[in-house]
Structure 1
Amino acid sequence: MSGPLKGIRVIEIGTLIAAPFAARLMAEFGAEVIKIEAPGDGDPIRKWRKLHEGTSLWWYLQSRNKKSIAVNLKSAEGIDIIRQLACNADVLIENLKPGAMEKLGLGWDVLHELNPKLTMVRISGYGQTGPYKERPGFGAIGEAMGGIRYTTGEPDRAPARAGISLGDSLASLHAVMGALMSLLRVKSGQGAGQVVDVSLVESVFNLMESLVPEYDLLGHVRERSGGALPGIAPSNTYPTRDGAYIVIAGNSNPIFKRLMQAIGRADLADDPQFAHNDGRVARVALLDAAIAGWTSSLPIAEALARLEEAGVPAGRIYSAADIVTDPHYLARDMVLQAELPGGVQVKMPGIVPKLSETPGEIHWQGPALGQHTASVLAELGMTAAHIAQLQQQGVVQ
């Protein structure tokens, strides 16, 4: 492994999305990630969404570059293995229900005593403290209570959701940020490891911009607005002649003028009442109607070409089919070819962000359950006979 996180060891005790996605991001940039799975079925994500020959395609993406060891955490010997691993780890990421790690004998007090330099990243629905801490929480609930669901969808319909696990992924990004901040403190000699407490609800809430002060000071509750961006105009989704949709963001003062000139409305470009955003917001329906009238008269390719020539930010709404053939995605290595077991070739997303000197790398796709159990335990000093005995006892797989 190479990359900026080379030499960093991460223990992942998590399932499905939030903790595994955070660990995957670290693995792509060189961290050694040891994923702890339950013997038998392993992480449930192995069977989530679309499967290929019995294994989820999401699994191969979510767990690339990770080592899988299958350990029975209901056994004393299994818990002892985790403690041994924690002694030489830099980060432990978990997304169990608050209190579960303590019941296993793997709480912060225990781990910190074993390894004062260890950073413990804890992802949960509501955080490790507060009156809701023991409630079960999934990403969908984080999206609901974090505020984003209330503002998503058409005004006359029920709140909508994005077609992905947005709440979990946002928590993962906050988890990685917290882990790196703690690692920087430890590696620079400024202090010991610490707990990074990440809440799904708070991770979503952190993206909600001026939602709270608008309500507190002005009594304004931001509502659902379809494809528009409330309070910023013009910025919306518009239909084209060939049945496609185009997103146009003409919301800065100079861009607005260029947009109006491009659609043949120089009168609006030169109107003083539209010179600034607040004036445009006051009459956004008029502006949206003018833009939609223009886009509806053109096929999307021609509309995009004219807007690009005018220097107006715009883009079509991409499907998976659009993404995998887009020349810019391909030029940026954002669609890569991967090999699954049996030599099957499949396209996978590339790595973000792009680092100029120490870019991320993909060394292997998600491993088989327990594929690295023997090698990891051997690194702990266990003999082959001891490992075989643990397997016979059902402690490892």
Structure 2
Amino acid sequence: MTSPLQSPALRPLKGTRVVSLALNLPGPAALMRCRQMGATCVKLEPPPPVGSAPGASGDPMSWYKRAAYDEMHQGVRVGVADLKTEKGQKTLHRELAKADILITSFRPSALRKLGLEWKVLHKLYPALSLIAIVGAPGDRADEPGHDLTYQAESDLVTGLDLPPTLYADMGGSLMTSEAVLQAMLVQRQKGKGSYLEVALSEAAAYLALPRAWGVTQDGEAVGGGHAGYRVYPCKDGRVAMAALEPHFAKALCAVAGVTDASIESMMSLATRQVIADYLLTKTRKVLDKLSLEKDIPLYTLPQS
């Protein structure tokens, strides 16, 4: 039962039918979001590779990490359609005749070969909207690329380490679900479909804006320069300290024995050292308790 303090889940896409041909991560993750917003979701996949085990999927994500594939497809009706065949095309167009939205993740050249370019679809199904997930926008849409290359382009790859998550893909999935909402607003206002392109490189660039603005660069307030916004070692692990706002910084300084919580003080090496020395004497358990008692935003972590 919903708590009186919780807002009920909104289902703005209830009554909307979404068909997806998008594989791997961005498309299925977007479909998961659409389903959570009330949409009826159908996904058509290519046949699994020859020699696959019984029950295998034609989506590569099911080979990389089946648990992730299963979670993204809960409540989604998954079918098989080889779009290079007449039978597969008929299967797709039966679904499109009932759909409000089509999500794809093919390159534009592949869409043309399959007869799924926007001009053709819009003529056949005037109320249908096409959300095309591509790697890069405009003339670059046919270039090869992947999440890692789009992150690298936006300066989100450090050294030789892989990023901790697939920021471009997941950011692109959110932009895709947002595009679905935009298309449905237009359809309900004007009674016709729209074409929207979602570029994963632009999703990465959007997530990287704080870095591009210089907000997270070394020495800036949220780039390690502010003593209240850093990752410190503690007695039995690490602590992600986020006491950035003045009242949080004041609370941190009070427990650490720093008398001046001004921004000038918090940006100094001396204050950083006092806080580092203090945290090094405390266990994760003590710091977790301190966070609640003194209203200090922090999260403790095991040793790396």
Q: What residue number does 1:297 align with?
A: 281
Letter matched to residue 30 of structure 1: G
Report SS of the residue matched to 1:268. Answer: coil
Letter matched to residue 174 of structure 2: L
CA distance in structure 2 between the partners assigned to 1:222 and 1:305 by the alignment? 29
Q: What residue number does 2:177 align with?
A: 176
Query: Unaligned stretches of 5+ in structure 1?
Result: 50-55, 153-157, 215-220, 270-274, 320-397
Identity %: 24
Once the two structures are superposed, the pairs formed by residues 347-358 of structure 1 within 5 Å of their partners are none
Q: CA deviation at 1:232?
A: 5.2
1:32 to 36, 40, 65: 40
Query: Unaligned stretches of 5+ in structure 2?
Result: 1-9, 50-57
Q: Does 1:107 align with 2:117?
A: yes
Q: What residue number does 1:248 align with?
A: 241
Q: What residue number does 1:268 align with?
A: 260
Contact 2:186/2:194 (CA < 8 Å) preserved in 1? no
Residue deviations 1:5-57 (CA, integer Å, cap 9, x gap): 222111110111011110111122321111111123411111113xxxxxx11
1:138 to 128, 141, 146: 146
CA distance in structure 2 between the partners assigned to 1:174 and 1:317 by the alignment? 31
Q: What residue number does 1:21 align with?
A: 29
Contact 1:241/1:299 (CA < 8 Å) preserved in 2? yes
Contact 1:89/1:118 (CA < 8 Å) preserved in 2? yes
Residue deviations 1:363-387 (CA, integer Å, cap 9, x gap): xxxxxxxxxxxxxxxxxxxxxxxxx
Contact 1:79/1:105 (CA < 8 Å) preserved in 2? no
Letter matched to residue 170 of structure 1: G
Contact 2:287/2:300 (CA < 8 Å) preserved in 1? no
Q: What residue number does 1:202 align with?
A: 202
Residue deviations 1:292-338 (CA, integer Å, cap 9, x gap): 2111101111012123211111112489xxxxxxxxxxxxxxxxxxx
TM-score (norm. length: structure 2):
0.85
Greater Cα shift, 39-48 or 292-301: 39-48
Once the two structures are superposed, the pairs formed by residues 38-49 of structure 1 within 5 Å of their partners are 38-41=46-49, 42-49=58-65
Q: CA deviation at 1:260?
A: 0.2
CA distance in structure 2 between the partners assigned to 1:204 and 1:181 by the alignment? 20
Bigger RCO of structures 1 and 2 (CA < 8 A, at least 6 apart)? 1
CA distance in structure 1 between the partners assigned to 2:41 and 2:201 by the alignment? 26
1:63 to 60, 73, 77: 73
Q: Does 1:93 align with 2:103?
A: yes
2:17 to 9, 15, 28: 9
Q: CA deviation at 1:264?
A: 1.9
Q: What residue number does 2:136 align with?
A: 126
1:239 to 225, 228, 233: 233
Contact 2:256/2:278 (CA < 8 Å) preserved in 1? yes
Q: CA deviation at 1:87?
A: 2.2
Q: CA deviation at 1:86?
A: 1.4
TM-score (norm. length: structure 1):
0.66
CA distance in structure 2 between the partners assigned to 1:26 and 1:10 by the alignment? 8
CA distance in structure 1 between the partners assigned to 2:151 and 2:24 by the alignment? 17
Report SS of the residue matched to 1:246. Answer: strand
Report SS of the residue matched to 2:223. Answer: coil
Q: What residue number does 2:300 align with?
A: 316
Residue deviations 1:230-265 (CA, integer Å, cap 9, x gap): 5655311111111x1111111111211111001122
Distance 1:232 1:210, change over 3 A: farther
Greater Cα shift, 285-294 or 175-184: 285-294
Residue deviations 1:122-166 (CA, integer Å, cap 9, x gap): 111102x13x222112111121112322xx5xxxxx164433222
CA distance in structure 2 between the partners assigned to 1:200 and 1:232 by the alignment? 32
Residue deviations 1:86-133 (CA, integer Å, cap 9, x gap): 122111111112321111001111111122221211111102x13x22
Distance 1:69 1:203, change over 3 A: same
1:257 to 250, 261, 278: 250
Q: Does 1:192 align with 2:207?
A: no
Report SS of the residue matched to 2:209. Answer: coil
Q: What residue number does 1:306 align with?
A: 290
CA distance in structure 2 between the partners assigned to 1:299 and 1:259 by the alignment? 16
